[in-house]
Structure formats: structure tokens, C-alpha cells
């Protein structure tokens, strides 16, 4: 009798479990039919068991052990949660790596942009400095050009200050003592002076080339004496061989061999130099 009761109890438990299993299986299928499409990752399984047996075989041993929290039972319940936690940690790690990489790139971009900005500022500063130097140079050049123009305008402002006449014997070009004394008196004040020129013109009676050669020899004697004795720069002496041409003071032909020496000074140049 007691065995019959145990068997009947087991059968009733089995029937109850079978009924719960059918009810649970039918409900999820109906919900799945009406639910929207699943996402990329499947959601965690419901912590509630699908049926009374929770996947175990409906037998006497599982009937006795099932209600208790055995290690196997707990492992089965915790395993899906652990897998999802591991998956979330992996996603978090990947996201952190991507965020760090983006931050690194952003910092590098900011650094490069800052360097380029600094370089552009340096170039702009250099350009401003060069422009200022160019403006200063242009102003200085304009000033110098004005001064040169003024100097050029003053170059031909020479005026005669002294005139000396040196006479020669016919056919000779040697300076006499009186001629040297006259040249010494004329050239003495010119020592350490500037802005002057000396014009030496030789005249000789005669005809054609003979008169020109004779006048040139006499003029050469005067120029040589001024350069060697009084250290007159050669570039300040202008020599002319006039031959038998008319003298500067009159229209008649020269009747005697002579050399006219004129000292021309530029007072404007002297004032500008001072």
C-alpha cells in the first residue's frame, strides 16, 4: 500500500512537471512571434527556469536534488551572466582603446596645428621686420639719391679764382725761374684743398701741327711741375694744346709762346662738404 502511494505521488509529480513544461514552451513561442527583430547580441536568458525541471531529466533523482542549490545548479544559472559580463568587459576595453587612440590623434593634431601657427607667426614677424628694413633702406637710398643729384647739379658750378701766365722763349719748353715762382705762388694755397680744378692752356705761334706740338710741350712742362713739385693730383689738371688759336681774352692770334693757368673752384661743393 505504501509503495502504491509513493508511485502515485511520483506519477502526479511527473504529470505536474509535464504540464508546466508544455505551458512554458507554448508561451515563449507566442511571445517570440509577436516580438520585434533581435539585436546584434542576444539578451540574457531569463533567470526564471523554463520549466520545473530546468533542463534536467524528469526522474526521481533530479526530483529530489532539483529544489536544492547545488554547485552544478548555481554554475548553470551563473554561466550566462558571466559570459555576458566578460563580453561587456571586452567591449569596454575595446571602446577605451578607441577613445584613447582618438584622444592621442586629437592631441597630435592640436600639437601640429600649434606648431604651424607658431611657424606662421614667426614668418609673419620676419616679413614685417624685412619690410621695415626695406622701408628704411628705401628711405636712405632716396636721401642719398637726393644728395647725389644735388652734388651733380653742383659739379659744373666752378668759377675762376686765379690766372697765371707763363711765357717761354721761342722754340723752348723749359720753365724759367720766374715761371716757377709764379706757379709756386699760385699752387701754394691749394695744399690740402678740395673741389678745385686747374686748367692749363698752351699757345704757340706758327702754323698747323707744329704750333700744336709746341704748345703741348710747354703745357706738359707746367703740368709736370705742378704734379711733381706741389703734389697736385693729375685728375684735377685739364690740359689743352691750343696751338696758334686765339687767346681766351682776345681775338688775335698769339704772337708769343705762353701757357695760361686758371684755378677754378667750386664753392658750393666746399660748403656742402663742410
> What pLDDT does 7 receive?
52
Asked, for residue 7, whether it belongs to a domain, the answer is no
Q: Which domain holds residue 164?
A: 158-273
Q: Could you tell me how many residues make up the chain?
A: 274
Decide if 88 is inside a domain: no
Residue 20's pLDDT is 53
Q: Is residue 22 part of a domain?
A: no
What is the total count of domains within the chain?
1
Asked if residue 224 is part of any domain, the answer here is yes
Find the CATH number of the domain harbouring 201: 3.30.1330.60
- CA-CA distance, 141 to 135, in Å (whole number)? 10
pLDDT in tens, 186-217: 988 888 888 889 999 999 988 889 889 999 99
- Residue 211's CB is within 10 A of a number of other CB atoms, namely 22
Asked whether residue 212 is assigned to any structural domain, the reply reads yes
| 16 assigned to some structural domain | no
Q: How confident is the model at residue 32 (pLDDT cuts 50, 70, 90)?
A: very low
Report how far residue 196's alpha carbon sits from residue 264's, in angstroms, rounded to the nearest whole number: 6
Q: pLDDT of 109-118, one tens digit each?
A: 898 998 889 8
Query: For 135-150, b where at least 16 C-beta lie within 10 A, e where not — what string?
Result: eeeeeeeeeeeeeeee
Q: Is residue 23 part of a domain?
A: no
Distance (Å, rounded) from C-alpha 170 to C-alpha 203? 12
Amino acid at each position: 500500500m505504501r509503495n502504491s502511494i509513493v508511485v502515485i505521488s511520483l506519477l502526479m509529480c511527473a504529470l505536474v512537471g509535464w504540464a508546466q513544461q508544455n505551458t512554458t514552451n507554448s508561451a515563449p513561442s507566442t511571445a517570440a512571434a509577436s516580438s520585434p527583430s533581435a539585436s546584434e547580441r542576444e539578451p540574457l536568458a531569463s533567470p526564471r527556469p523554463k520549466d520545473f525541471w530546468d533542463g534536467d531529466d524528469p526522474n526521481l533523482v533530479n526530483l529530489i536534488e532539483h529544489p536544492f542549490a547545488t554547485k552544478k545548479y548555481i554554475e548553470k544559472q551563473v554561466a550566462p551572466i558571466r559570459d555576458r559580463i566578460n563580453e561587456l568587459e571586452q567591449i569596454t576595453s575595446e571602446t577605451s582603446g578607441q577613445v584613447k587612440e582618438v584622444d592621442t590623434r586629437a592631441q597630435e593634431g592640436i600639437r601640429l596645428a600649434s606648431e604651424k601657427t607658431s611657424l606662421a607667426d614667426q614668418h609673419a614677424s620676419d616679413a614685417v621686420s624685412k619690410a621695415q628694413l626695406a622701408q628704411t633702406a628705401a628711405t636712405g637710398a632716396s636721401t642719398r639719391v637726393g644728395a647725389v643729384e644735388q652734388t651733380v647739379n653742383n659739379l659744373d658750378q666752378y668759377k675762376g679764382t686765379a690766372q697765371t701766365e707763363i711765357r717761354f722763349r721761342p722754340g723752348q719748353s723749359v720753365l724759367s725761374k720766374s715761371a716757377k715762382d709764379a706757379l709756386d705762388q699760385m699752387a701754394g694755397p691749394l695744399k690740402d684743398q678740395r673741389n678745385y680744378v686747374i686748367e692749363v692752356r698752351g699757345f704757340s705761334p706758327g702754323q698747323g701741327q707744329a704750333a700744336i706740338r709746341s704748345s703741348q710741350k710747354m703745357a706738359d712742362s707746367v703740368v709736370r711741375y705742378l704734379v711733381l713739385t706741389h703734389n697736385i693730383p693729375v685728375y684735377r689738371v685739364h690740359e689743352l694744346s691750343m696751338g696758334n688759336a686765339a687767346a681766351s681774352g682776345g681775338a688775335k692770334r698769339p704772337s708769343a709762346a705762353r701757357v695760361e693757368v686758371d684755378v677754378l673752384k667750386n664753392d658750393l661743393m666746399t660748403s656742402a662738404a663742410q
